[in-house]
Chains A and B, each alone.
Chain A
Amino acid sequence: MDFYHSYATINQKLARGVELRYGEKEASVLPRAPRLLRVPRIGVYAGTGTSHSWLWIVELFDRMSFYEVVFMTEGMVRGGALDGLDVFAMSGGDTIRIAEGLGPEGGRAIESFIRGGGLYIGSCAGAYLPLKSSKQHLDRFNFVDIKIANLSKTRPEAKRMGSKASTSYGCDFVYHPVREDVLLRMTGREPFSRFESFRAPLYGGPSMVPSGACDVLAYYDGFTEKTLFLVDESLARQTLIGKVAAARAALGDGRLYLFGPHFEHPLFPTANHLVATAIFWDMRKGRQSGGFSAPQAILEGPEKEKLVRDLKREISNSRIVTVGLEAIPVQWILGCKTYEPEKIRVFLEAIWKRIRVLERSRTICVQQETCEEAVAMASRVTQLLRRMKAGIDDLLDTQDIAWDLFDSLRGLTTLFLQMYFDSLGARFRLDS
């Protein structure tokens, strides 16, 4: 079954005002329920502390035509932007930096959003965030009574990839027993009732032990030929197998889905399908259908051409430098995460592959000041990359540039993708 096509059909029909019910006709990919479907309004967190994995959510949403999406910074979360949303998605990164960035105000906003009926979807760092913790910054996010199984007072001996095998977690260490594909066994609980087992990639996400009431959706069940052991295999088995990989919990009127592995990773269609199922099944209920985007300026003709060309120019310049950087054995440690040049390209490619869509599109939905900001930021990314390359060639420390670069890349990608999703969303609404 082509899940992407199935969900794209649902979303496009809903955007055009077609009435669809759960489990019926074009929506047969979803479990049956006597409710009408509607377009979910989704916030994707792309603020401080995130890595590049939120771009996997972008890929999933793009393939499945979820276009009512807003990309959010910590300031937007604190400023009440969650109020208009049905779903809030948080992918990977540095959990403590994310929590620190959001602060108590952000924590309260997320809690209020969920209690008010909103759906929180967290994978990897996004799954750690709402778990029980007394650590500074994290203690404002104790939304779910689930404990972390891969937590240790001492740092386990790493077999490989020492910098990725464990990380400080207050006075403790969160250790990551394996990376890459793991096998998961479904429990059959709704809405994940159609599969027995599937694969998903684990890149530092939690192994969980529930102590309160929650629905266990999937357990870690085994390893695959692609699993990479970062610690001794017996410790990896002890830490993972039989522990919870995916859980669904209630908070007030809302729900949280917590995924240890990256269910949103673009190479895992079954896991992607489960994310989409969760969104439709447990998104905020009772709201009326209809787009939430504020009226946007429509750019067309030479102005649109100029914007696309200016962005394309800078992204091309940046990609060219980045490909050269990838041949150099260099990495940067930002917070508790290790970044390689390949991660720069993940951001740039997320833009590059979508520029072509905007190039072919007749219009772009964007405010004039956003155009100028996006082009200026793209130009800044190029300049930072060139400075970084020159610095590396001259054997200089480029750590400070890397902080600036990854922040700028995140900002640029967010701006561009907002433009892209607004434009495609508007196109479907206009077609209706």
Chain B
Amino acid sequence: MDYLSSNKILIVDLETGATSEEELDDDLVSKRIGGAGITSSLYETYKDSDPVILGAGLLTGTLFPASALSVISAKSPRTGYLTHSPFTLKAGMELKYTGFDYVVIRGKSQKPVFLWLHDGIADVQDASELWGKDVWDTTDHIRKTMGDDLIQTLVIGPAGEEGSDLAQVCVNYWANGDCWQFGKVFGSKNLKAVALRGMGLLEISDAEGFVDQCFEIFQAIKGSALSGKRGVEDILIAMGESDAREWLAPVTHRHSACYNTPYPTNTFLYLSVDPATLTEPPEPEPGFMITDIGALLALKKLGLSAADAGHVLKACARRGVDPAAVAEIAGKAGQKDPKAIEQSLASMQGAATVPEGAKFSSWAPAQPIFGDFGISGEAALKDWWVRRQAVAYLFGIHPIFANMSPELSEEALLEMANKGAGLELSQEALDQAIADVCS
């Protein structure tokens, strides 16, 4: 692949610490497009070594709106089959700029390691200093020792190390949609983290046309139904939580968008400082960024205040557990005391409910947000959600934003992929790639 790609698949053998590279074949892209389509194909090739596969979408890291998504694909201990988890913020984009579009992590290391991917170099590094640290301290330690605050991390906390069924792979400091127990998979491989940073460039086939059309789509989005909306609060309102703004107001500090995403899907709460404070807070981290809307909503439904929900989510993120699963388990147990929930995290047992046969994370709300996709009926809605997520996971589109913006139609995505990558993908090819990834 000459365009929108580093043209490299990295194979890492944790058993030996050896790495090797393969070229990304144009035919594979033409058949499976990218993201979860290609990670699924690579999984079939390497499934004997129980691989974890990271993959960037075809449009990930470009100027295309919301091109923030990369995926983690692996056999989920929860389901026993191949599933896909999103990672966004700046990490999805950063994967592509490390010089590897896809990373196959095979086998198990004898000792704790982390994988450092940078500018086309893959280093399997000792993580004995990191083992035992929580998610936040791990990311801080990696950034401090490598000397760069922009390094993006996929990281597990103590829950993953201990093999908890609630263990989640977090992104930097935050939850990011791993509902498949991939944290447990990382832990079983003695893989503490994957650190990502690259300063590469992407070639675009029709660069001028691609950029011009990206701006046209941005303009269309600016005038769409999401205009004037912001943060988690408006998403919750769209999901029927009409009091969400008032509920969050006492702790809302700011909103934050993932890479090149026209809507800030993340909201930062100040938990230990008045959010109206305009000066630098006295402590380095006075709050928490909400990235998991489903978990927040579940805690709200338990009757917690936004501040208390924020404290629970922060504790989940530091320990590296799936906050949506914690909220569901606490709810089933009738546990409504935030302190008690926090204290029970280390011993909490159970797992979140997963729809039968699900392949994609339930991180993205199961309904259109703001935008009108012309869906009616429960079955149609379910089918729409699965197809919409599949498209997002193939092209590398933020999966929550994908459910907001009808402007990012399949037709537009195909046209831009062809323009940018110099391919001739058809609707039939896309239909087949979706069918393959969903099967």
Partner of A323, one of B144, B146, B199: B199
A325 to chain B, nearest CB (A): 8
The A381-396 residues at the B interface (CB cut-off 8 A) are: 385-386, 389-390, 393
Partner of A324, one of B118, B145, B149: B149
B373 to chain A, nearest CB (A): 41
B144 to chain A: closest residue by CB? A390
A323 to chain B: closest residue by CB? B199
Bound state CA distance, A324 and B123, in angstroms?
A: 21
A172 to chain B, nearest CB (A): 41
Chain B residues lying within 8 Å of A324, measured Cβ to Cβ, are 147-150
Bound state CA distance, A385 and B147, in angstroms?
A: 8
Chain A residues lying within 8 Å of B199, measured Cβ to Cβ, are 316, 319-320, 323
Interface residues on A, range: 10 to 19
* B419 interface residue per 8 A CB criterion: no
Chain B residues lying within 8 Å of A287, measured Cβ to Cβ, are none
Bound state CA distance, A313 and B116, in angstroms?
A: 11
* A27 interface residue per 8 A CB criterion: no
Partner of A321, one of B120, B121, B123, B147: B147
Bound state CA distance, A198 and B188, in angstroms?
A: 67
The B119-141 residues at the A interface (CB cut-off 8 A) are: 119-121, 123
Question: Chain B 66-108, CB within 8 Å of chain A: the 1/0 string?
Answer: 0000000000000000000000000000000000000000000
Q: Which of A312, A321, A324, A386 has the most CB of B within 10 A?
A: A324
* B359 interface residue per 8 A CB criterion: no
B428 to chain A, nearest CB (A): 39
Bound state CA distance, A152 and B145, in angstroms?
A: 48
A62 to chain B, nearest CB (A): 21
B96 to chain A, nearest CB (A): 16
B7 to chain A, nearest CB (A): 14
The A319-350 residues at the B interface (CB cut-off 8 A) are: 319-321, 323-324
* B192 interface residue per 8 A CB criterion: no
Chain A residues lying within 8 Å of B253, measured Cβ to Cβ, are none
Chain B residues lying within 8 Å of A321, measured Cβ to Cβ, are 146-148
* B189 interface residue per 8 A CB criterion: no
Chain B residues lying within 8 Å of A320, measured Cβ to Cβ, are 118-119, 146-148, 151, 197, 199
Chain A residues lying within 8 Å of B145, measured Cβ to Cβ, are 386
Question: Chain B 137-164, CB within 8 Å of chain A: the 1/0 string?
Answer: 0000000111111110000000000000
Partner of A316, one of B118, B144, B149: B118
B355 to chain A, nearest CB (A): 41
A314 to chain B: closest residue by CB? B121
A105 to chain B, nearest CB (A): 40
Q: Is the CB of B121 within 8 A of A313?
A: yes
Bound state CA distance, A319 and B120, in angstroms?
A: 13
Bound state CA distance, A323 and B242, in angstroms?
A: 44
A-B residue pair count with CB separations less than 8 angstroms: 43
B377 to chain A, nearest CB (A): 51
* A194 interface residue per 8 A CB criterion: no
Q: Is the CB of A317 within 8 A of B118?
A: yes
Q: Is the CB of B119 within 8 A of A319?
A: yes
Bound state CA distance, A324 and B150, in angstroms?
A: 8
* A155 interface residue per 8 A CB criterion: no
Chain B residues lying within 8 Å of A313, measured Cβ to Cβ, are 121, 123
Q: Which of A309, A317, A319, A321 has the most CB of B within 10 A?
A: A317
Chain B residues lying within 8 Å of A319, measured Cβ to Cβ, are 119, 199
Chain B residues lying within 8 Å of A389, measured Cβ to Cβ, are 147-148
With A320-B197, A323-B199: A390-B121 Cβ-Cβ less than 8 Å:
no
Q: Is the CB of A316 within 8 A of B119?
A: yes
Bound state CA distance, A378 and B146, in angstroms?
A: 15
Q: Which of A316, A319, A390 has the most CB of B within 10 A?
A: A316
Bound state CA distance, A309 and B20, in angstroms?
A: 12
A329 to chain B, nearest CB (A): 15
Question: Chain B 228-256, CB within 8 Å of chain A: the 1/0 string?
Answer: 00000000000000000000000000000
Q: Is the CB of B119 within 8 A of A390?
A: no
Bound state CA distance, A389 and B144, in angstroms?
A: 8
With A319-B199, A323-B199: A386-B119 Cβ-Cβ less than 8 Å:
no
A321 to chain B, nearest CB (A): 4
Bound state CA distance, A95 and B151, in angstroms?
A: 40
The B170-211 residues at the A interface (CB cut-off 8 A) are: 197, 199
B197 to chain A: closest residue by CB? A320
B21 to chain A, nearest CB (A): 11
Q: Is the CB of A386 within 8 A of B146?
A: yes
Subset of 16 A-B contacts with CB under 8 Å:
A312-B121, A313-B123, A316-B118, A316-B119, A316-B199, A317-B118, A320-B147, A320-B151, A321-B146, A321-B147, A323-B199, A324-B147, A324-B148, A385-B147, A386-B145, A386-B146
Q: CB within 8 Å of A: which residues of B?
A: 118-121, 123, 144-151, 197, 199
The 9 closest A-B pairs by CB, nearest first: A321-B147, A316-B119, A386-B147, A389-B147, A324-B148, A313-B121, A320-B148, A316-B118, A320-B197
